[in-house]
Amino acid sequence: MIRMKIVADDTIPFLKGIAEPEAEVAYLPAKGFTPETIRDADVLIVRSIDKCTPALLAGSSVRLITTATIGFDHIDTHYCEAHGIAWKNAPGCNAPSVGQYVLASLLALALRRGETLEGKTLGIVGVGHVGREVERLASTWNMRVLRNDPPRAEAEGQAGFVSLDEIAAEADIVTLHVPFTREGRYPTYHLANNDFFRKMKPGAWFINSCRGAVHDTEALLRAKREGVVGGLILDCWENEPGISPELLHLADIATPHIAGFSADGKANATRMCLEAIERFFGIRFSRLKEVVPPAPLHPEIDLNAFADHRIARAFLQTFNPEIIDNHLRNNPSEFEYLRNHYDHPREPRAYRVRNATPDEQKLLAEMGFQAG
């Protein structure tokens, strides 16, 4: 019996050793994906850095591409569909991770500025898996939420959704969570452009943790210089890894595209890729249950260790964006290295919080912690 051959990106966590009992697996760096190395593969397991183009795929035996990401703009889906190559992404795999990133970054910036998130209006652009998670976390901090999602509004009705102009005019904080598209009825390329920033509430905070080209870099630079954007949190950049030095300097929190990189999210994505292979080929991976993230180094958080802002500081114990921000500012040319060698944090559910009051326990539980 001929065994299935899988070619996988060698930086996908928790994958090595899992599929080997049932398949032959070759692990390659991103630059190692060539027409020669994937020619006799049945399956590719890739990340967003692995470009699945006609030049790579033509003449290969690849029948399925699975990507350990929610986005799939690195896969030429038109070519795949025309040539009988199935593809599967991992929708929702890292939604809690991006939610964790957004809330932690907002809390870090608010603490730095002596402000509170409570009562602020948060405009969420794109309310899919990630946007819904951001909305859930924002509600725990009593933030007012405005939702913009034209495809959902069209399918479900306008109730509960607002226009992009309304987001720009009313939101104290704008956060982007849309897929990157240049085509179709709702293209998102340069969605946040000069026109958007001109309409934006002066001094509002702006977050992009979805795709770099959803914002126009020159327009964002102008808005930040002029004070239209009062707080800037960027995880995604145009022209990665060659990011704008000026934008890096002006950003309040800057990170190398790691918002969805929790250990939990990575494990979810790897598991979803393997499950897609199981369904497609009608097989079972006997070691699939072993795809689990390691426990945190310090799984207990003691609220009595904090003199003030106890809940905010507990949340920042799970992920503090200022650490990776500092690494990127000191080594901007190492963007891709920092991304590939990132120490994936655990999400709040991996932590137990001690010495919480009953009110704090309720809030912590809503945020996903083990409290009590």
User: Are 31 and 149 contained in the same domain?
Assistant: no
Tell me, yes or no, whether 33 lies in a domain. yes
pLDDT in tens, 62-88: 999 999 998 898 999 999 999 999 999
Rounded to two decimals, the pTM is 0.89
- Give the pLDDT band of residue 3 (cuts 50, 70, 90): confident
Residues 153, 271 within the same domain: no
The predicted model gives 187-196 an average pLDDT of: 98
Mean pLDDT confidence for 52-61? 97
Assess whether 111 and 226 both reside in one domain.
yes
For residues 67 and 111, state if they share a domain: no
Taken as a whole, the chain contains a residue count of 372
Task: Name residue 67's beta-bridge partners.
Answer: 46
pLDDT in tens, 137-191: 999 999 999 999 999 999 999 999 999 999 999 999 999 999 999 988 999 999 9
In the chain, the percentage of residues whose pLDDT exceeds 90 is: 95
SS3 content of the chain, % helix, strand, coil (to 5): 40, 15, 45
Domain containing residue 165: CATH number: 3.40.50.720
The residue range of the domain holding 114 is 95-254
Over residues 292-325, the pLDDT tens digits come to: 999 999 999 999 999 999 999 999 999 999 999 9
Q: Are residues 248 and 101 in the same domain?
A: yes
Q: Which residues are catalytic?
A: 211, 240, 257
Cβ-proximal residues to 214 (8 Å cutoff; 6+ apart), any chain:
176, 178, 180, 188, 189, 190, 191, 192, 208, 236
According to the model, what pLDDT value does residue 73 have? 87
For residue 225, being part of any structural domain is answered with yes
> Phi, psi at residue 58, to the nearest 5°?
-60, 130
**Distance between CA atoms of residues 319 and 258, nearest Å:** 11
Nearest by Cα to 127 from 154, 106, 108: 154
Same-domain pairing of 201 and 72: no
Q: Which amino acid is at 319?
A: F
Closest CA to 293 of 369, 344, 348: 344
Count how many domains the chain has.
3
Phi first, then psi: what are they for 5, rounded to 5°? -110, 125
Distance CA 220, CA 190 (A): 10
CA dihedral 363, 366, 370, 372 (to 10 degrees): 40
Q: Please list, in sequence order, all residues whose beta carbon lies within 8 angstroms of the beta carbon of residue 363, skipping any fewer than 6 positions away.
A: 140, 311
pLDDT at 372 over 80: no
What pLDDT score does 2 carry?
65
Cα–Cα distances in angstroms (integers) from residue 126 to residues 55, 120, 159, 267, in the given order: 32, 19, 15, 24
Please state, rounded to an integer, the average pLDDT across all residues of the chain: 96
Rg (CA), the chain: 21
- Residue type (1 letter), 24: E
For residue 332, is pLDDT > 90? Answer: yes
**Is 295 a domain residue?**
no
CATH code for the domain of 318: 3.30.1370
- Pair (203, 120) in one structural domain: yes
Phi, psi of 236 (to 5 degrees): -120, 140
Task: Please report whether residue 156 resides in a domain.
Answer: yes
Q: Does 146 share its domain with 238?
A: yes
From the list 96, 104, 143, the residue with the least C-alpha distance to 368 is 96
Both 60 and 162 in one domain: the answer is no
Neighbours of 78 (CB within 10 A): 9
Three-state DSSP class for residue 25: strand
- When pLDDT is averaged across residues 110-122 and rounded to a whole number, the result is 97
Considering the domain architecture, whether residues 135 and 166 belong to the same structural domain is answered as: yes
Q: How high is the pLDDT of residue 203? A: 98
Torsions phi, psi for 324 (to 5 deg): -70, -30
- Do 334 and 269 lie in one domain? The reply is no
CB contact set of 372 (below 8 Å; sequence gap of 6+) = 352, 356, 361
Note the pLDDT tens digit of each residue in 265-282: 999 999 999 999 999 999
Residue 102 lies in a domain: yes
Query: Looking at the predicted structure, is the pLDDT value of residue 1 above 60?
Result: no
272: helix, strand or coil: helix
Omega within 30 of 0 (cis) for the link into 241: yes
Give 293's DSSP letter.
P
42 pLDDT exceeds 80?
Answer: yes
Distance of CA 184 to the CA centre of its chain: 23
pLDDT at 371 (0 to 100): 75
Residue 224 and residue 348 in one domain:
no
Residue 342 lies in a domain: yes
Longest Cα–Cα distance in the chain: 66
pLDDT tens-digit profile of 198-235? 999 999 999 999 999 999 999 999 999 999 999 999 99
